[in-house]
């Protein structure tokens, strides 16, 4: 009954809308940038820097801005983030000079340190909601948004074969989030006395209010495990943001096909993220390590493939593995937030995403500058190393 009482006072749908709209606009620039600057003759190593520019500053901003967010509140922090990001992207209307683009993305990455950590923390801050169910919906919204964003980009480029227009559309879409953040997003309801009784796992039955409640300290979770999962998906993401756009240009594919093939990956990614949100931590412990190994094997097929339909199959598999690992890492970090009664793990998560994504893009960009197929082999070897490390630390994730 307490869950219903919170739902009447805290609106969750604005959080879903915020993550959906951002997730819709994000892939437009994410894929347009490497393809556009490859066509402009920019060096691959510099393109890798442009692709990861947002994460350079994002790697530190959630930690830096965490205390400020606690003072300002979730709502004001999110408003600042959306105004700042939208304002920064308006520069696209003025110039797409690679140096200016780099500066814009650096600023945008920093200001987004107010966005995702506060959105995620707004879930864990609410003392009496089903955190597992809300996290699943949050991840599903993000995944579906990416699908629609990529489809929009593919269809747009089929009719208007000019990548520059995607840079102009993105800030217009993002401006909707400013409106939603100001007029609809609410501060979460945080009853500290009741937060002490929040459960790590909530297995909700379809009928009635009968729930199986588990104690907060049922799992001991080493922070290194979700960090390793994030490191794995950061390297894996280099395929869609850098390696495959380069390979598709080498093979003479149209830019719209790059958007389209990643749609298939995003569909399976969304399904896997939702699946990982509802699976128990005990089962995730087993499956997550094996998923890294399977992901490493998948990338070995990219260098020897030249047919578009083969790439679709590979992206379907890769997307599923990526989504499962990302969903698992998110669940472990959210669980740590709840157990430790803090929001710091959301900030740690987002900061490490930035650091690992930056490192992975630079490494892969450097190797791809030599040969893109060698970069794929390098990617597989790195994931294999992460698999052995994760497998070793998984022994310390246990019930207590």
Mean pLDDT of 389-399: 81
Tens digits of residue pLDDT in 105-159: 999 999 998 998 888 778 777 666 666 677 778 877 887 888 899 889 888 888 8
Instruction: Please give the structure tokens belonging to residue 312.
Output: 């679709």
Pick from 38-47, 158-167, 218-227, 338-347: least confident: 338-347
Find all residues with CB under 8 Å of 26, minimum gap 6, and list them.
146, 149
Q: Which of 240-244, 273-277, 313-317, 334-338 has the highest mean pLDDT?
A: 313-317
Question: Phi and psi for 57 in degrees, rounded to 5?
Answer: -80, -30
Over pLDDT 70: what percentage of the chain? Answer: 86
Predicted confidence at residue 147, as pLDDT, reads: 85
Q: What is the CATH number of domain 2-187+201-395?
A: 1.20.1250.20
Three-class secondary structure of residue 219 per DSSP: strand
Question: Residue 196: is its pLDDT beyond 70?
Answer: no
Predicted confidence at residue 57, as pLDDT, reads: 87
For 316, counting Cβ atoms within 10 Å of its Cβ (0-12 exposed, 13-18 middle, 19+ buried), the class is middle
Question: Residue 289: is its pLDDT beyond 90?
Answer: no
Query: Measured between alpha carbons, how far is 23 from 177 in angstroms, rounded to an integer?
Result: 11
Spatial contact of 197 and 304, defined as CB atoms under 8 Å apart: no
Residue 129's CB: how many other CB atoms inside 10 A?
22
Work out the mean pLDDT of the chain and round it to a whole number.
82
Tens digits of residue pLDDT in 72-112: 888 899 999 999 999 999 999 999 999 999 999 999 999 99
Q: Which of 49-58, 160-169, 295-304 has the highest mean pLDDT?
A: 295-304
Tens digits of residue pLDDT in 230-272: 999 999 988 988 899 889 888 888 888 888 898 899 889 888 9
Query: Measured between alpha carbons, how far is 394 from 400 in angstroms, rounded to an integer?
Result: 14
Predicted confidence at residue 206, as pLDDT, reads: 33
- Where do the domains of the chain lie? 2-187+201-395
Mean pLDDT of 264-281: 84
Picking from 50, 263, 84, the residue whose alpha carbon sits closest to that of residue 174 is 84
Tens digits of residue pLDDT in 320-379: 999 999 988 888 887 777 777 666 777 677 678 778 888 898 899 899 989 999 999 999
Over pLDDT 90: what percentage of the chain? Answer: 33
Give CA separation, 202 vs 130, 259, 285, 291, in Å: 6, 37, 18, 25
Three-class secondary structure of residue 211 per DSSP: strand
Spatial contact of 23 and 141, defined as CB atoms under 8 Å apart: yes
């Amino acid at each position: 009954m307490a869950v219903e009482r919170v739902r009447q006072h805290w609106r969750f749908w604005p959080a879903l809308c915020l993550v959906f709209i951002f997730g819709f606009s994000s892939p437009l620039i994410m894929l347009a940038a490497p393809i556009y600057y490859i066509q402009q003759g920019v060096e691959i190593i510099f393109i890798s820097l442009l692709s990861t520019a947002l994460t350079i500053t994002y790697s530190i901003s959630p930690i830096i801005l965490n205390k400020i967010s606690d003072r300002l509140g979730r709502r004001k922090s999110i408003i600042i983030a959306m105004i700042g990001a939208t304002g920064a992207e308006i520069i696209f209307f003025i110039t797409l000079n690679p140096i200016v683009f780099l500066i814009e993305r650096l600023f945008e990455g920093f200001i987004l340190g107010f966005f995702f950590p506060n959105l995620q923390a707004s879930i864990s801050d609410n003392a009496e909601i089903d955190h597992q169910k809300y996290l699943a919906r949050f991840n599903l919204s993000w995944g579906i948004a990416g699908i629609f964003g990529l489809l929009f980009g593919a269809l747009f480029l089929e009719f208007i074969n000019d990548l520059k227009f995607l840079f102009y559309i993105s800030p217009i879409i993002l401006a909707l989030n400013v409106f939603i953040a100001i007029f609809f997003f609410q501060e979460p309801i945080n009853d500290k006395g009741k937060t002490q009784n929040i459960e790590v796992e909530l297995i909700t039955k379809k009928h009635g209010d009968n729930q199986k409640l588990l104690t907060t300290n049922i799992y001991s979770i080493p922070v290194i495990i979700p960090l390793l999962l994030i490191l794995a998906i950061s390297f894996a993401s280099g395929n869609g943001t850098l390696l495959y756009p380069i390979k598709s240009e080498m093979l003479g594919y149209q830019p719209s096909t790059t958007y389209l093939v990643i749609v298939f990956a995003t569909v399976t990614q969304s399904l896997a993220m939702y699946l990982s949100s509802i699976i128990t931590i005990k089962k995730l412990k087993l499956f997550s390590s094996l998923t890294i190994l399977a992901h490493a094997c998948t990338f070995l097929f990219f260098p020897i493939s030249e047919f578009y339909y083969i790439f679709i199959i590979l992206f379907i598999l890769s997307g599923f593995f990526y989504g499962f690992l990302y969903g698992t890492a998110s669940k472990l970090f959210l669980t740590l937030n709840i157990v430790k009664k803090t929001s710091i793990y959301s900030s740690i998560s987002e900061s490490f995403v930035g650091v690992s994504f930056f490192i992975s893009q630079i490494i892969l960009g450097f190797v791809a500058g030599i040969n893109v197929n060698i970069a794929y082999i390098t990617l597989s070897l790195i994931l294999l190393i992460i698999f052995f490390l994760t497998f070793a630390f998984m022994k310390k994730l246990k019930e207590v």
